[in-house]
Amino acid sequence: MGGENDELLDADARHFLRRTGFGALKRDFDQIRSAHETRGHAADRFLAFAAKPPRFRPNGRDFSSAHNKWIKTLIRPRAPLQAKLVLFWHDHFSTAFAKVQDVALMADQIELLYTQCAGDMRVLVKSINKNPAMMEFLDTVRNRKAIPNENYARELQELFTLGVEDFAGNPNYTQEDIVQIARAFTGWDYDRDAFLDDNRHDFMDDFPARGPKVIYKTTGGFGPGGRSFTVNGEGEAEIDTVIDIIFQHRDTDGKNTVARRTARRLLEYFAHPDPDDAVVDEVVMNSGFDTNFNIAGLVRAILVHDAFYESGAAAPFTASTKKSVKWPVDFLVSTVRLLNIKLKGKDQTLEGGNFASALDHLSNMGQVLMDPPSVFGWDWETSWISSATLLARYGFARDLTAARGRGGTSFRPERLVDLGTRTAGAIVDDVTDVLGVTDQLSGSERGALVQYVSDGGGANATVDLDDYDVRNTKLHGLFALVMQSPAYQLH
Amino acid sequence: MAITRRQFLKRTGLMAAGTVLGPNLWRNPWVRDALASTIGDRYFVVLFLDGGNDSLNTLIPATNGAGTLRTAYEAARKTGNGGLQLSPSDLAATLVGTDPNTGAQLALHPGFTGLKALWDLDKVAIVQGCGYPEYSLSHDQARSIWQTGNPLGIGSLAGTGWMGRYLAANYGSLDIPGVTIDDTVAPEYRQYVTSVLAVERLRDFGFPYDDFVADSLPDDTPAKRTAFAALAASGAGSGQAAEVYIGNSGTATLTSSESYPPLHGVYETDRGGFSDQYQGLGTGTARGFREVAKIIYGVSTGAANVNARFFQLSNGGYDTHSDQGAGETDGQQYSLHKEVGDALKVFYDDCADMGVANKVCVLVWSEFARRIKQNDNGTDHGSQGAMYLIGGSVNGGIYGNHPNIDESALDDEGNTVYTQNANGFRSTDFRDVYGTVLKHWLNMPESTILSNVLLLDSGPAASYWTSKNFDLGFL
């Protein structure tokens, strides 16, 4: 059993950097190793970020410029772990431009996530309740006393807090709870212009007297009477009360329902897709998240836990090896950072192959930021993988390595590996080191790469990388093949 | 993270998904032989209406007949601003059959003229009242239930789709029997034994090789292909489930990236008239059906390494909580039905012209219907709805009973009740529809269906699926 005082050795340091940021860059790796940082030190350093968001509000009003601005922010993050947490909450509080149709409101929601991604989760959910992009997305603005709209009340419980079922498979709430909570959320609207001027309390309220409500009569551990609440005439207090009750909900094991579900989701996101229930309960207990709901504390408990480091295991993988499929934004952003590629201009274009923008590449891979496919966010893990999305990843690798030239937006392998006449084995090791997967490749995968570079000559065959044609064919080709390998799709 | 689905599956054993169903079982040659229920030269297409289609305003009671469906409909769906009620005159041009139970005259939504045209050809079976016990109003959970064919979360069925289990029984790791017209594999086809492609556009499906030309060296593309194939094979040979999946997917992608893109040009050349008809509709659904048609044309004309017979496509936008629209031509639901109906009509005509209409069956489903009583100007989530089957060999007609929509018969949430009681409002379990397709279209023996694809519920016979009926009659 390891703990927060364990020093981060090479493999764990790389794993820590991959998961708390985008790719294990050499300078960041060196910083951890030269200071002999422990799990706890590194976690504290990465969690010490300011709540203030980067200047995110898009210059243009169109979707693609806002999207690509976010990508640009991710490629050079001021605080990588903050950026990763924002992406977690963006999936969690999934809100899609396809319905909201308002870039400024979408950007405002992302700023909210930057500000509150590591604080008190109750405050975060209360803010989301009143977030105009969310109010549009889940029809809160269309939820009126005479004809309640259940959309937000349902997803608030199913997706944002409780989940449909607890760990034992028992329902966490009933349709009646949805109806009662929907009643509490009637009457809300917002003044868009005032809101965007940062006058955040200028909501147009029309809060009718809706009478007493009772929720969780059969779930939540509140006893046979459930929890009743009546806060008439003041909508904000009433929906805040709903959140406070939800965060007291206990599952059929007697554990705090929101804490367990949130901890499981964060473990799935940062560690691997199959955390044990016992690990979930440990990180909740170690952080006190079931009483303080402090997100940074919960994340820290995960980052010092052995379960987090399991998925950094080296090849060869076996049936019990825990691995997670790299999601498209992580795949693209970390690759661009590792290869020190600059994307060009406002559209963040990759200057090779099809000269497509970051948005186009990510769209083909199945993950457009600010436009998740539904309120459920994205489907993760092997759902990222299909022939279509694999071709998109393969095409990205091709386009990137085809960005030839000496310009600032070109792929410059001579700056990443030594040229000259070298053995095929050494060249393969250098390239897989740059891409951070040397210890993730099996012997047969490495063998396939060696055979390619040496044209069948083997690991000791020499290859002249000073030769223009050889370099442009084999070295560029090798980088693309590593990025196209099954191991590179995992992390 | 579609966490609820994952939790739902996990609870029932997702992580063992690849092995639960037992590739071991399927790899047993004796079992494979026993299951070698050849489908001959048939095709099967699944069309998913994503978001929960409002069934009550898709198939509408235009009269009461001997019952009160129309009266109950008019009580639930308002007239006037935001009202969703469709009047008899709105429905006059799209009348179909009568409800077997009440004799009520039924009509399709006025936007569904494409489906009405196929109905008139006797090529449409409408199966009313499809649902399952303990219905879910969560999009995610309900969708997963329909896709897995597993309402009660039985562990041995988890992680695989209902059609996936059929494919796993009949195809091996070197086969590519299915194509999803999308960028992800449709969950109803999910399994870990054989390959299902995800293709948005055939012509863009080529493998991306670098086109750099080195004057002093031979063409490097064959070397790249060899290396890529070896990497994918290595991944497939790893023990780690995700890496195996990525490796196998990579191999299938490489092979089909060479055999599928040419189908586009062949179809455009040989069948340009139909291509223009799809394009003229200008919708995503029409575009999707055109991709299916290209592949069917390739298979039926013997294109090399093109053997897919199972397809899936979807159309979104059915989650009409607000601004649903009644019969007006610029309304949301009108556009949805127009898009799907018109695309189905062109696709059917195209298949008929290819001479394969009798060999193609399309199944249309949605994760739930919508609340009987409308809200302000839309509808919330509901329970049972109608399924549709279209094809040259389909026996056109109305099957199953219209649910009882009288306010007094609704449950506490205002939804119709699933019942297997032998009364006039008995529901159709969607697994009987799947089973009828498997038995009568895909020749799977009933005993195999019941042991490996669809498992009967345990529970009171009145409210659970405890006995099957795989002879609904539409095929």
| Interface-testing mutation among B183, B202, B413, B417, with chain A (most A C-beta atoms within 10 A) | B183
Q: Which residues of A fall within a CB distance of 8 Å from B217?
A: 469-470, 473
Residue B204: its pLDDT value, please? 85
Give the separation between CA B23 and CA B164, rounded to whole angstroms: 12
| Interface-testing mutation among A386, A440, A441, with chain B (most B C-beta atoms within 10 A) | A386
Residue A205: its pLDDT value, please? 61
**Least Cα separation, residue B236 to chain A (angstroms):** 9
CB under 8 Å to A383, separation ≥6 — which residues? B2, B184
| Interface-testing mutation among B5, B77, B184, B383, with chain A (most A C-beta atoms within 10 A) | B184
What backbone torsions phi and psi does residue B132 show, to the nearest 5 degrees? -160, 165
Question: What letter does residue A353 receive in the DSSP assignment?
Answer: T
Of A433, A353, A448, whose CA–CA distance to A394 is shortest? A353
**Least Cα separation, residue A412 to chain B (angstroms):** 15
- The structural domains of chain B, with segments of one domain joined by +, span 3-205+260-453
Q: Name beta bridge partners: B180.
A: B198, B312
What backbone torsions phi and psi does residue B152 show, to the nearest 5 degrees? -100, 10
Between the alpha carbon of residue B468 and those of residues A302, A482, B235, B461, the distances in Å are 48, 51, 42, 11
Q: Which residues of A fall within a CB distance of 8 Å from B8?
A: 164-165
| Interface-testing mutation among B11, B12, B49, B210, with chain A (most A C-beta atoms within 10 A) | B210
Q: A92 — contact with chain B (CB < 8 Å)?
A: yes
3-state secondary structure of B445: coil
Q: A189 — contact with chain B (CB < 8 Å)?
A: no
Contact B294, B354 (CB under 8 A): no
Give the separation between CA B99 and CA B87, rounded to whole angstroms: 18
A353/B139 Cβ within 8 A: no
From the list B7, B153, B252, which residue is nearest A387 (CB)? B252
Contact A298, A275 (CB under 8 A): no
**Least Cα separation, residue A5 to chain B (angstroms):** 31
Q: Which residues of chain A have pLDDT under 50?
A: none
Q: A150 — contact with chain B (CB < 8 Å)?
A: yes
**Least Cα separation, residue B174 to chain A (angstroms):** 15
From the list A158, A387, A447, which residue is nearest B253 (CB)? A387
- CA dihedral sign, ordered A422, A426, A427, A433: negative
Residue B3: its pLDDT value, please? 27
- Cβ contacts below 8 Å, chain A against chain B, sum to 240
- Copy the structure tokens of residue A313: 């295991």
Distance, C-alpha B245 to centroid of its chain? 24
Question: What letter does residue A383 receive in the DSSP assignment?
Answer: G
HEC per residue, B148-181: HCCCCCCHHHCCCCHHHHHHHHHCCCCCCCEEEC
B182/A388 Cβ within 8 A: yes
- CA dihedral sign, ordered A21, A23, A27, A28: positive
Between the alpha carbon of residue B4 and those of residues A126, A134, A456, the distances in Å are 22, 20, 49
- For A195-214, the pLDDT digits (tens) are 887 655 556 666 677 788 99
- Copy the structure tokens of residue B354: 């290819």
- Copy the structure tokens of residue A169: 């498979």
Q: Which residues of B fall within a CB distance of 8 Å from A171?
A: none
Give the separation between CA B116 and CA B14, rounded to whole angstroms: 41
Residue A61: its pLDDT value, please? 67
Strands B428-429 and B124-131: parallel
Contact B321, B380 (CB under 8 A): yes
Between the alpha carbon of residue A6 and those of residues A2, A47, A272, the distances in Å are 6, 18, 20
Mind giving me the DSSP string for B397-427? EEESPPP---GGGS-TTS-PPP--SSSTTPP
**Least Cα separation, residue B306 to chain A (angstroms):** 15
A325/B249 Cβ within 8 A: no
Give the chain A residue nearest B233 (alpha carbons).
A445
Interface of A with B in 68-87 (CB under 8 A): none
Mean pLDDT of chain A: 92
Give the separation between CA A284 and CA A110, rounded to whole angstroms: 26
Q: Which residues of B fall within a CB distance of 8 Å from A324?
A: 242
B140/A268 Cβ within 8 A: no
Residue A336: its pLDDT value, please? 97
Q: A347 — contact with chain B (CB < 8 Å)?
A: no
Give pTM, 2 decimals: 0.81
Cα dihedral B229→B232→B236→B241 (10° resolution): -170
Give the number of other CB atoms < 10 A from CB of residue A223: 9
Residue B34: its pLDDT value, please? 34
Cα dihedral B403→B404→B407→B409 (10° resolution): -110
CA angle A337, A343, A345 (to 5 degrees): 145
CB under 8 Å to A224, separation ≥6 — which residues? A217
A452/B227 Cβ within 8 A: yes
- Copy the structure tokens of residue A74: 């991710």
Q: Which residues of chain B have pLDDT under 70?
A: 1-39
B224/A481 Cβ within 8 A: yes
Give the separation between CA A477 and CA B212, rounded to whole angstroms: 10
Q: Which residues of A fall within a CB distance of 8 Å from B375?
A: 147-149
Residue B17: its pLDDT value, please? 29
- Copy the structure tokens of residue A274: 């199959």
Give the separation between CA B49 and CA B390, rounded to whole angstroms: 15
From the list B199, B224, B243, which residue is nearest A317 (CB)? B243
The length of chain A is 491
Q: Which residues of B fall within a CB distance of 8 Å from A377?
A: 1-2
- For A373-384, the pLDDT digits (tens) are 878 889 899 889
Q: What is the ipTM of this complex?
A: 0.94
Q: A274 — contact with chain B (CB < 8 Å)?
A: yes
Contact A320, B242 (CB under 8 A): no
CA atoms within 13 A on the CB side of A16: 34
* Whether residue A316 has a cis bond before it, omega within 30° of 0: yes
Report H helices in A219-315. Answer: 235-246, 257-270, 277-287, 289-292, 295-303, 306-310
- CA dihedral sign, ordered B445, B451, B453, B455: positive
Q: What is the CA radius of gyration of chain A?
A: 25
Of A431, A264, A135, whose CA–CA distance to A155 is shortest? A135
B209/A398 Cβ within 8 A: yes
Q: Which residues of B fall within a CB distance of 8 Å from A454?
A: none
Counting other chains too, the contacts that B213-220 makes at CB distance below 8 Å and 24 or more residues apart are: B214/A469, B214/A470, B214/A472, B214/A473, B215/A469, B216/A467, B216/A469, B217/A469, B217/A470, B217/A473, B220/A473, B220/A474, B220/A477
Give the separation between CA B239 and CA B216, rounded to whole angstroms: 41
Contact B322, A149 (CB under 8 A): yes
From the list A139, A378, A481, which residue is nearest B321 (CB)? A139
Between the alpha carbon of residue A405 and those of residues A357, A408, B124, B209, B213, the distances in Å are 18, 9, 59, 18, 15
- Copy the structure tokens of residue B463: 């409210």
From the list A148, A265, A385, which residue is nearest B249 (CB)? A385
